[in-house]
Every structure is written in C-alpha cells, then in structure tokens.
Amino acid sequence: MTQFWILDFGFSISRFDNKKVFLLALCPLLLALSVSAQAQQPGKIFRIGFLAASTAAGNAGLLETFRQEMRKFGWIEGKNIASEYRYGEQKPERLPELAKDLARLKVDLILVVATPAALAAKGATNSIPIVMVNAGDPVGVGLVASLARPGGNITGNSGLSPELNSKRLEILKDVIPKLSSVGLLRPPPVSFATPEFQLKEIRPAALALKLKLEEIETQPDAKSLEGAFQTAKQKQVGAIMTTSNRPFFAQRKQIVELAGKHRLPVMYFDKGFVDEGGLMSYGTDYDDLYRRAAVYVDKILKGAKPGELPIQQATKFEFVINLKAAKQIGLTIPVRVLERANQVIK
C-alpha cells in the first residue's frame, strides 16, 4: 500500500494511507466553499433600501456611480439585488416614516444619504445594516460610538462638512480680502433639518476671520430662496454660503440664478452648483464617497458586520472656479487663489 509521511505541525510524525491524506486535504477546501456559499447565498435577491431627504433627480448621477461600482463586485440590479427608493422630496420631517417603511419591508441593508437620513434610519431599526454616505460628525450627533469601531448596525463614510465650511470661509476671505460679512443660508430649526453640527464649526471660524456671520433661515423652495437673497442684500453682506445639505443641492439651479441676479459672490459646497453656472465650490468628491459606500455594501452583503467596519472620512476634495461667473458680477479672482484650484472654467 502506498504510504505518505505527514508532518503534523510540529507535534508528531505519523503515517497515513493515501485515502486519509486525500480526505485531510479536502476538508479545508470544502469548509471554505461552504463559508463562501453561505455569504453569497446563490439565487437570493438582496433588497437594498435607499433613503435621502432630497429628490430622485437630485441623486440620479451619484446613484449611477454607486451602481457602476456595485457591478464591479458582481451585484446586478434585477439579478441579485433589488432597490427600494424613498425620498423626502425636500421635506426632512418625512424621513422617520420613510425609514420605518423600509424597516417594515425588512430590506437587507439601508443606504442613507447625509445625517438627517442616517438619524431617521437609526430610529427605525437597530438590526438592519445601515451604510451612510456623506454623514457629518457621526460621533457628535450620536450615530456611532466611535469612528474606528462604530458598533451597532451603522457604518459608512463622513464628508467632513463641518470642517469644510470653515475652509470655504477662508477661501472667500482670500478671494475678497476686504470681505467683512457673509450671509449663511440655513434651514429653519425643525427636527431633522437643522445642521447644528455645521453651525458649531462655522460660527467660531467666522469670528477668527473677523467676519460677521448673518444667518438667514430659508426653506429650499423658490419663494423662500428669493426672500433669502433679498434679505442678504438688505443686510449688505459681501458674499453668501449655504450649509451643506442635499435639499439646497436640489435647488442649485435657482440658487445660482439668484446669485447672478443679485450680483453676489457665492461659495458652494458641491461642484454641481458650478456646473449650473455658479461662481466657485470647495467640497468633497461625492463620486468617491459613493464608490466607497459600494465597497462597504459589498462587504456587508457577503457577511461583514457593519459595527466592525470603521467610519471612513473623505480624502478627496475639489476646488472649482468659474471665471465666466466671476466676470458677470465684476469679481476678479486673485492669481494665488486660481493656482490652488483643481479646475478653472474660463
């Protein structure tokens, strides 16, 4: 009979016949295949809930970026994943009920955009995995225990919106050295809408730059935004910013038009405003955040625990300047500022 000598990892040397050796070698392979099969669950269609405060149109481009990244991992809509979309339609107060609706459907995972949607989802379920895209200060608002070990059922990425607001103020001061006051468009103080964590950063930043911050409350609708710009002109602000949130982004075309109408320099939080003709933007590369969210969704659908996946912070940022818009309002951008931009539209 054929015999083999096998070293038993330092314990002893034994002799096995060829059948035993074959079975010994086969066991780890079978175990690995079993674990993989359990993680993939062939034939199952995973349902992914999507929750955002804004509109379908406002998220269409970024969602396509997410889907493209998911396809790289083999997740195909209609084949092994199905999506349930819920939008607040610019009414953040609707988010809690929309989140509960997704929880009642028992989706396998909920992808949420920004802090209000993340808070709503957390309030609706403590068992369904939640992946955040562009959440601001997730520890400070109580979404997770820590960035390194979130715990619970939530993970994802942070867009650093509080810190970036301070940076936007600095850029405005560099662009307009004599700037003394800035109008800040912000939502009114209602549940799930007020980005208080952003205000905690921007208020002291304005003081440090010796800028008067005029906070102007407005709803993200045509009539309210028109009134907000009129208020800004009455207060004689030298420039405008908005807090970072998707409802404002969804109204980017009107905001850009109002800025031109009132000849006010505006610093935006997303390059999408500049694509509509806005003056300049400094912010997170949102496409990158959606791609990174897809990586976490893939891991969780294959068995990873969200609470053990660290919260990732944004690492890619974009500074875009539109010289056409600057010319229209009679603003000259200093060369030293242009040299810092990732993109200059002429």
Cα–Cα distance, 245 to 195 (Å, whole number): 8
Q: When comparing pLDDT for 193 and 296, which is higher?
A: 296
Does 116 have pLDDT greater than 80? yes
Q: What is the pTM of this model?
A: 0.79
In a domain, 63, yes or no: yes
Q: If you search the block for the tokens 């339609």, which residue do you land on?
A: 89
Percent of the chain with pLDDT over 90: 71
The helix or strand, by DSSP H or E, that contains position 291, with its residue range, turns out to be: helix 286-301
Same domain, 141 and 226: no
* Mean pLDDT, all residues of the chain: 87
Q: Is pLDDT of 35 > 70?
A: no
248 plus 309 within the same structural domain: no
Q: What sign does the dihedral 319-324-325-331 (CA atoms) show? A: positive
| Residue 1 is assigned to a structural domain of this protein | no
Tell whether 178 and 155 lie within a shared domain.
no
9 falls in which pLDDT band (50, 70, 90)? very low
241 vs 161: CA distance, rounded Å? 13
Q: Is the pLDDT at 46 greater than 90, yes or no?
A: yes
Number of domains in the chain: 2
Same domain, 107 and 185: no
Report how many helices (DSSP H) and strands (DSSP E) the chain contains, helices first: 13, 15
3-state secondary structure of 132: strand
In this prediction, residue 307 carries a pLDDT of: 96
Angstrom distance (rounded) from CA 17 to CA 10: 20
pLDDT for 58: 81
CATH number where 143 lies = 3.40.50.2300
Nearest to 183 by CA among 197, 191, 175, 172: 172
**Between residues 231 and 248, the one the model is more confident about:** 231
Same domain membership, residue 175 and residue 109: no
Same domain, 246 and 195: yes
Domain that holds residue 97: 46-159+286-313
For 260-287, write each residue's pLDDT tens digit: 999 999 999 999 999 999 999 999 999 9
Residue with tokens 């895209």: 133
- Percentage of the chain exceeding pLDDT 70: 85
Residues 180 and 214 in one domain: yes
pLDDT band at 201 (very low <50, low <70, confident <90, very high): confident
Residues 107 and 149 in one domain: yes
Is 3 part of any domain? no
| Cα separations in angstroms, 129 against 77, 309, 310 | 19, 11, 14
Picking from 88, 188, 197, the residue whose alpha carbon sits closest to that of residue 138 is: 197
Tens of pLDDT along 121-177? 999 999 999 999 998 889 988 999 999 999 999 999 998 766 788 999 999 999 999
Residues written for the chain: 346
